Amino acid sequence: MPIRILLADDQELLRITFRILIEENPDMEVVGEASDGAQAVALTRTHRPDIVLMDIRMPGTDGLAATTAICRDPNLAATRVLILTTFETDEYVARALRAGASGFLGKDVSAYTLLDGIRTVASGEALLSPTATQTLITRFLTTADPQSDPPPELTALTTREREVMALAAEGKTNTEIADDLVLSPLTVRTHIQRAMNKLGARDRAQLVVIAYQSGLVHPRPRTNGTTDDR
């Protein structure tokens, strides 16, 4: 079945461009278009798309609020949000990931990168553009929301699941984790999936958020004044 996509952007010309680009691919289809966040939430509940391609700055309800509403709705657990915006700043990266977004791309990406990004997020992987780097995740997600507590389910993870989760939070791929732990990539994927199930994470991006906010992974100072995660 094709990947079902909802477009949420206040610029009609961009929505038309995205629709033409996406529908040239037989493994994708656009199921709806929204011009603001409130409409995006309503149409997501109606169409249940696999992916919402979400702009951040829109009139009325913005993309971050819409992302939060979608990701907190248990009836939309199968829907993932890919943020696509010109406002690719540190603050927006952190807020989008905390809201539950599965990926983040700037609007200046190539057509190939956008399409590949949609497929990546649809497969359950986290996606960050070169600007929204792992350094930004490390720096901003280590400061947990003061109203949120580490999930008690973290104690339910096996030692191996914690190891795999920690390496995933460092931005390593399944193949890289497999090499580090002398496992097969399939075994790593199984551990990732089990950790997600136990922690109620909708995808790998949420697993990264939990890893930092729960204290499973901590940053360490780099010589250039930024932080590294270990």
150-168 pLDDT, tens digit each: 566 678 899 999 999 988 8
Average pLDDT, the chain: 81
Q: What is the CATH number of the domain that holds 204?
A: 1.10.10.10
Average the pLDDT over 40-64 and give the result.
93
Instruction: Note whether 113 and 147 are same-domain residues.
Output: no
Contact indicator for 58, 83 with CB cutoff of 8 Å? no
Q: Provide the domain count of the chain.
A: 2
pLDDT in tens, 6-24: 999 999 999 999 999 999 9
Minimum mean pLDDT among 108-122, 156-170, 203-217: which range?
A: 203-217
Minimum mean pLDDT among 35-49, 109-123, 195-209: which range?
A: 195-209
Residue 84's pLDDT is what? 82
Terminal alpha carbon distance of the chain? 39
Average the pLDDT over 159-179 and give the result.
87
Which among 112, 132, 152 is the end of a domain? 132
Which among 106, 132, 158 is the end of a domain? 132
Q: What is the CATH number of the domain that holds 88?
A: 3.40.50.2300
pLDDT > 70: percent of the chain: 78
Minimum mean pLDDT among 100-109, 133-142, 178-187, 194-203: which range?
A: 133-142
Instruction: Note whether 175 and 107 are same-domain residues.
Output: no
The residue segments making up the domain with residue 207 are 140-229
Instruction: Note whether 26 and 54 are same-domain residues.
Output: yes
Instruction: Note whether 116 and 171 are same-domain residues.
Output: no
**Is the pLDDT at 90 greater than 60, yes or no?**
no
Q: Which of 85, 70, 13 is nearest to 39 (CA)?
A: 70
Minimum mean pLDDT among 78-92, 142-156, 203-217: which range?
A: 142-156
Residues 64 and 93: their CA atoms lie apart, in Å, by 10
Instruction: Note whether 15 and 119 are same-domain residues.
Output: yes
Q: How many CB atoms lie within 10 A of CB 158?
A: 12
